[in-house]
Amino acid sequence: MPTLPDGTIEAAEVWKRFRSDDRPSYLQDQLARVRDRLSGNFRPSYRWALSDINVRAEPGESWGLVGANGAGKSTLLKILSRVMYPTAGRVDVAGRVGALIEVRAGISPLLTGRENIYLTGSIMGIKRRDVTRRFDEIVAFAELDKAIDRQVKFYSSGMQMRLGFGVAAFLEPDVLLVDEVLAVGDATFQQRCLDRIRAVLHEGSTLFFVSHDLAAVEATCKNGIWVANGTIQTIGPIRDVLTAYRGAVEGEAVESRQQITGRLSIRDVTAASPDGSLPSTGGPLEVNLTIEAPHEHRVWIYLGVSEGAATPIFLLNPGRETILPAGPTNVRCEIPSLPLPSGRFYVWAGVYEHWEGGTELVPWQPLTRFEVYGPKLDNAPPAVVRLVPLHIDSSWDIDRAA
């Protein structure tokens, strides 16, 4: 086998299966298998968590893994970290792996923070004196101060996570695997983690980053993998992967819309430019819909435009309560200048009773989608998280100062 340069990850035709859920123990599984064979009714006693995964990451690359819960992201990460063995296929990881699979990665509660740092270091295969060299940095990053000589079981969950991340990210890993751990920390710490991840990338490490925070993934990773049902749906530049993923999530939401019925119903929804053509960046957008009410209602109407899930890029409402008479009412909303870059977007809507705390008459849900033509969104600098895709016109003057 040719030796790969440190930081290379190669997974070829990786499959992983788990035993079926009603036979959790090995013994039970083996007994059930014998019973099945004797009685002649075969049923699969396993489920596939990953099928035919092929990934190759070169040193210094940054990969984001996205996908729904249970899609197999964490399983894939565990296999890449060699903690879990694939059922079939080959995984090669060259170099030192720093893994942060769960919040308290590799922390032993009975030891002090100091002992834990050395223990994790030696698990990663790092010499004691090399750990000593980075020791102060880790303690400073984790903001532990004197607590470093306290047993970890007395740490708060935030301290444990900071220590776990600090150890994984400061011990010069060739490969850094990070699984949805930043969600626990506060906003400042998340930003420091992202900064640290960027620094690790800058030092030439390879990164695999699993997160549901798509903005953070986009800001951190150049490449992406969208995993669904244990298979790779899309692999490539992060922007393409996220577009495909968001599209699928929204598509699902739009599909399921028919089943949700509030106390009012909405129909005949369109979103287009007023002359019927496709909307463009900076051009007008007109949303039309009809609300059917069984009797008179005084309501608040909200419209939202989103790219991701239920969180809109911006929200609109008429600014006053609306009186809906019994029967159908046409609602028209025009945005004179659409601040969206090219891409696919979705119109969400919700109708609520007019008083504070009133019940929702139509729950917040996607109604339709529309394409926008125009300039593509600029790439953000590394580790800068852009919350929403907006296109804002700007003019610049850059002159040499006199």
Is residue 122 involved in binding other proteins (CB under 8 A)?
yes
Query: Checking phi first, is residue 75 left (phi over 0); if not, alpha (psi -120 to 50) or beta?
Result: alpha
What angle is formed at CA 190 by the lines to CA 184 and CA 191, rounded to 5 degrees? Answer: 170
For residue 180, the 8-state DSSP code is S
Distance of alpha carbon 203 from alpha carbon 210, whole angstroms: 20
Interface stretch with other proteins, choices 118-126, 139-147, 246-254, 344-352 (CB under 8 A): 118-126
Closest CB 126 distance from other proteins, rounded Å: 9
For other proteins, the closer CB: 109 or 236: 109
The CA distance from 116 to 131, in Å, is: 11
C-alpha span between 109 and 384 (Å, rounded): 35
Asked if 57 touches other proteins (CB under 8 A), the answer is: no
H/E element, 66: strand 62-66
Binding to other proteins by residue 129, rule CB under 8 A?
Answer: no
> Which of 102, 240, 286, 353 is close enough to bind other proteins by CB under 8 A?
102
Per-residue x/- marks for other proteins, 208-227, CB under 8 A?
Answer: --------------------
Q: How many C-beta neighbours within 10 Å does residue 117 have? A: 26
Residue 6 Cβ vs other proteins, minimum distance, rounded to whole Å: 14
Which stretch, 104-112, 189-197, 269-277, 374-382, contacts other proteins (CB under 8 A)? 104-112
Q: How far is the CB of 59 from other proteins (least distance, A)?
A: 18
Residue with smaller CB distance to other proteins, 24 or 325: 24
| Residues sharing a CB contact under 8 Å with residue 264, sequence separation 6 or more, in sequence order | 291, 292, 293, 294, 297, 299, 324, 351, 361, 362
Does the protein bind other proteins through residue 94 (CB under 8 A)? no
- Segment near other proteins (CB under 8 A), from 109-117, 290-298, 355-363, 371-379? 109-117
Q: Does 128 help bind other proteins (rule: CB under 8 A)?
A: yes
Burial of 242-274, coded b for 16+ CB within 10 Å and e otherwise, reads: bbbbbbbbbeebbeebeeeebebbbeebebbbe
| φ and ψ at residue 149, rounded to 5 degrees | -100, 20
- Please state, in angstroms and rounded to a whole number, the distance separating the CA atoms of residues 363 and 349: 8
Q: State yes or no: residue 376 binds other proteins (CB under 8 A).
A: no
238 three-state secondary structure: helix
Determine if 133 is a binding residue for other proteins (CB under 8 A): no
Write down the least CB distance from residue 250 to other proteins, Å. Answer: 34
CB of 216 to other proteins, least distance (A): 21
For 92, the enclosing helix (H) or strand (E) is strand 88-93
* Closer residue to other proteins, CB minimum distance, 81 or 211: 81
Least distance (Å) between residue 77 CB and other proteins: 11
Amino acid identity for residue 173 in this structure? P
Give CA 58 to chain center in angstroms.
Answer: 22
Minimum Å gap between C-beta 76 and other proteins is 13
Question: How big is the site for other proteins, counted in residues (CB under 8 A)?
Answer: 33
317 binds other proteins (CB under 8 A): no
Q: Which stretch binds other proteins (CB under 8 A): 24-32, 203-211, 247-255, 394-402?
A: 24-32
Closest contact distance (angstroms) between CB of 334 and other proteins is 54
Binding site for other proteins (CB under 8 A): 18-19, 24-27, 78, 81-85, 97, 99, 101-102, 104-108, 110-111, 115, 118-120, 122-125, 127-128
